[in-house]
Amino acid sequence: MAEALTVADEPMLFDRLESEPTDALLQLIALAKADPRPDKIDVGVGVYRDAAGGTPILRAVKAAERILVETQETKAYLGSAGDTRFVDLIRPIVFGEKGARDERIVGVQTPGGCGALRLGADLIDKANSDARIFVGQPTWPNHGPLIECAGVEMVKVPYYDTRSRRILFDEMMEALKEARPGDLVLLHGCCHNPTGADLSLDQWREVADFIARRGLVPYVDLAYQGLGNGLEADAQGTRLVVEAAEQALVAQSCDKNFGVYRERTGSLFVKASSKAGAETVFGNLLQLARTMWSMPPDHGAAIVHTILDDPELRADWNAELKEMCARIRSLRARLSAYDERLAFIDRQNGMFSMLPLSRDAVLELRESHGIYMADSGRFNVVGLSDENVDRFAAAVVEKLDG
Ligand code: LMR
């Protein structure tokens, strides 16, 4: 009889794990949901809410889903690059018509913007495990884990000061001088998450020029295109840096601008130094994707593909995206008008802004007013409704740290 081989004092496999804290942003969804107060205000996670407080499926998305139910004939595998027509349709939206024709840029479909960011980080690590990525602070809390999980070292540089409500541009540029050729710079393409504070076009030009001169590689996270100042305006910075740099990455997401959040719909584009180099990158992306998710989920990309290939649906999507963008802008204007100390909010873009609030103040707002925002003071502007925006403003100005 075979003897069981045990090492008495060694813990079993899973007993070696340490407990992990729940993701703070995702936990906010559950906390807000569990609050029975009818007048609670959920400005936590980044989802669009309409005037009635709902997150409805866009008309064009519903129509595309109906078309897919009627016409899709197979669910057979598409391959690790996903839906290549989807990627081709996204290209000009991100890079413009001219940029989209650049044969040094290759792209694959990914499971949302997170999948794109992770795939890009893996590609970086595979290409050069010594490459570091410079990331302005504060940033989206999942950037660090996504990048470091792939083994890429993250170097923190200043970006924004919450108290003075301004971008620390000179400080950031100074800190970037530490970067070596081949290092990466993470940039939020538009609608900076968590601060809403975007670089001006002149600042983008300066960054693009700096990156090009120093042989750095921009890694742009473009998750909110169309929700700041419109599709074209929101892509200007990305196009400037990608055009200037010899090599670049862009992690793109359709989750917010098509409102298909849980479908996880995005893409990763990589610019190489040459067409041949781009082909090598493409092969590596396929191999890395194959080891992580094999093939990306299809449904969200099929929806986007159907919309963008149909002039009527495309026009309707554009119109609804403009409505969403206008609603965000009008809420920003209302908050700004409420109090001088909130005036900065109208100069910022997208779903988020960050209030100078202590963690205690954030928790107090949660307990006494049912206001759910991230511990950092980040709030989702469009989580507010026409009815509660003034109540929100009144409660937060009481607690501002400056
Ligand atoms: C957010 O920042 O709220 C969104 O990007 C959702 C997420 O995955 O964190």
45 lines ligand 1 (CB under 6 A): yes
Q: What is the CATH number of domain 63-311?
A: 3.40.640.10
- Which mean pLDDT values do the consecutive 10-residue runs of the chain (402 residues) have? 66 94 90 95 94 92 98 96 98 97 98 98 98 98 95 98 97 98 98 98 98 98 98 98 98 98 98 98 98 98 98 98 98 97 97 97 96 96 94 96 84
Q: Do domains 15-57+319-397 and 63-311 have the same CATH topology?
A: no
Kindly give the distance from the C-alpha atom of residue 54 to the centroid of ligand 1, in angstroms, as a whole number.
17
Point out the ligand 1 atom lying closest to the alpha carbon of residue 23. Answer: 9
Whether 221 is a known active-site residue: answer yes
Q: What is the 3-state secondary structure (H, E, C) of 124-141?
A: HHHHCCCCEEEEEECCCC
Kindly give the distance from the C-alpha atom of residue 46 to the centroid of ligand 1, in angstroms, as a whole number.
5
Predicted local confidence at residue 22, as pLDDT? 87
Look at the block and give the residue holding tokens 């004092």. Answer: 9
Whether 212 is a known active-site residue: answer no
Domain ranges across the chain: 15-57+319-397, 63-311
Predicted local confidence at residue 6, as pLDDT? 61
Kindly give the distance from the C-alpha atom of residue 73 to the centroid of ligand 1, in angstroms, as a whole number.
34
Exposed / middle / buried, residue 30 (Cβ in 10 Å: 0-12, 13-18, 19+): exposed
Predicted local confidence at residue 2, as pLDDT? 57
User: To which CATH superfamily is domain 15-57+319-397 assigned?
Assistant: Aspartate Aminotransferase, domain 1 (3.90.1150.10)
Predicted local confidence at residue 119, as pLDDT? 98
Is it true that the peptide bond before 138 is cis, omega within 30 degrees of 0?
yes
Predicted model pTM: 0.95
